[in-house]
Chains A and B, each alone.
Chain A
Amino acid sequence: MTDQHIESHSSVKQWAASAGHHNDPAEVREQRLRILAAFCARVEKQPDELVAFCILRKKATGEQFLSVKRRETINNWLEEFTAEQGWAGKQAVVNANVVRSFLIHNGVLIQGPVWRG
């Protein structure tokens, strides 16, 4: 998935608009998109599908809810992904949180480790 391609997804547009990415330098924006695109490729999901993956419906009522288990799965995937990328220390935390930022700005509350160094 190219950076241009990933930008066309509505969830990615929502992320950029909500987080105010238009104010950031081009290289920062591109780096974020690269990380998201690589993660999406790793888990074989389009960005919109990644958001949808976290949202389930209650069988009884059809009501939507954010799945704790699905978000745990995302966190596990992120842990594997950062290790595969060879990221460590603060870089691992920051880059994994790029993906979490994408989810957060699409209404998925998700938290991961903090850099305490």
Chain B
Amino acid sequence: MEFKQVVGNRRTIRFFDPNRPVEEEKIQVMLEAANRASRAVNADFAKAIVCYRDELSDEVREAMKTPTSTVQIDLAPVTIFWYGDTSFVNGAQGRLKELVDLGALPVTHGWTHAYVDNLVYPQVLEPMSKDQIATVWAVSVETGLAIAQAMLAGVDEGLGVGLHAFNAAGVKDVLKVPDHWVPMWILLVGYPAEDAKGGGQRPRRALSDSFYRGQYGNPWQEIPETTERLKREGMIQEPMPADASQRRAEIRQLAERFGLPL
């Protein structure tokens, strides 16, 4: 699938086909996409535990469930628990020098082993690693980048995906999560039982509401031809119609199939 189509097709899927297995190969594609994400100091910020629902023990499955997550977890064949690794600074010096040697961090931009050893590590990374707020900020941003790539890779593989909060304390022990991992999100994965387009794209505000040129207060001006091109190429798709009767009918049908409340 073309990249713009993938971005345009992504929806938060809430109704998965619970009985259609997800191929391990497709999960690997998602994990590799996460592994290829941009990352500061070439650190492995993003950590994930992939759980196939039907392979979990009753103990683990029950620990995962909360009154706000049971439906999704029951329906999704795969749950990926995402964490951020706060020990990212370990080995950072060596990784940065490796990038210097490879020319990824070029001397033209001021990078040398001495710069890494004398400034970047002792004056930036080490103090940062001791600052809890800075650490959680960095880990969250970096892990988010990886999760986004995994999510889009899943869509590219024809899967449905959905990010949700989870009961991190409830699953910490059963998943044997190390103390230095910070919980991020769960990514539910499966084949959609609902319309894969979820009835249309969710409402979004104009670019000018959020993006600026030069300074805040000077909104980004859309180029109409580009907007039209993005519609043709699938990044911008039909929004969910204001008349939600079709979507409501679909939800009713899904509720009847899965015995869900209406």
* Chain B associates with chain A: yes
Interface residues of A (CB under 8 A from B): 19, 68, 71-72, 74-75, 90, 93-94, 97-98, 100-101, 104, 109-116
Contact A110 B67 (CB under 8 A): yes
CB-CB under 8 A from B67, the residues of chain A are 68, 71-72, 74-75, 109-111
The docked-state distance in angstroms from the alpha carbon of A90 to that of B260 is 10
Of A100, A110, A114, the residue contacting B74 (CB under 8 A) is: A114
| B75: interface (CB < 8 Å) | yes
CB-CB under 8 A from B75, the residues of chain A are 114, 116
| B19: interface (CB < 8 Å) | yes
Which residue of chain B has the shortest Cβ distance to A108 in the bound complex? B67
The docked-state distance in angstroms from the alpha carbon of A52 to that of B17 is 35
| New contact pairs (4) apart from A111-B69, A115-B257, CB-CB < 8 Å | A110-B67, A111-B68, A114-B260, A116-B74
- 7 example contacts (A-B, Cβ-Cβ < 8 A) are as follows A68-B66, A74-B67, A94-B259, A97-B260, A111-B68, A112-B71, A116-B74
| B227: interface (CB < 8 Å) | no
Contact A111 B70 (CB under 8 A): yes
| B18: interface (CB < 8 Å) | yes
Which residue of chain B has the shortest Cβ distance to A101 in the bound complex? B261
Interface centre among A75, A104, A111 (most CB of B within 10 A): A111
The docked-state distance in angstroms from the alpha carbon of A18 to that of B130 is 51
The docked-state distance in angstroms from the alpha carbon of A111 to that of B14 is 13
Contact B262 A116 (CB under 8 A): no
Contact A115 B259 (CB under 8 A): yes
Known contacts A112-B70, A113-B70, A19 near B19 by CB under 8 Å = no
Within 211-262 of B, Cβ neighbours of A (below 8 Å) are at 257-262
The docked-state distance in angstroms from the alpha carbon of A71 to that of B67 is 6
The docked-state distance in angstroms from the alpha carbon of A109 to that of B72 is 13
Which residue of chain B has the shortest Cβ distance to A93 in the bound complex? B259
Within 1-29 of B, Cβ neighbours of A (below 8 Å) are at 18-19
Which residue of chain B has the shortest Cβ distance to A109 in the bound complex? B68
The docked-state distance in angstroms from the alpha carbon of A112 to that of B68 is 9
CB-CB under 8 A from B71, the residues of chain A are 111-112, 114
The docked-state distance in angstroms from the alpha carbon of A104 to that of B260 is 12
Q: How far is the CB of B136 from chain A (nearest CB, A)?
A: 23
Contact B70 A116 (CB under 8 A): no
The docked-state distance in angstroms from the alpha carbon of A92 to that of B74 is 16
CB-CB under 8 A from B257, the residues of chain A are 115
The docked-state distance in angstroms from the alpha carbon of A74 to that of B259 is 18
CB-CB under 8 A from A101, the residues of chain B are 261-262
CB-CB under 8 A from B18, the residues of chain A are 114, 116
Contact A116 B66 (CB under 8 A): no
The docked-state distance in angstroms from the alpha carbon of A9 to that of B259 is 26
Q: How far is the CB of B2 from chain A (nearest CB, A)?
A: 34
Contact A116 B261 (CB under 8 A): no
CB-CB under 8 A from B19, the residues of chain A are 116
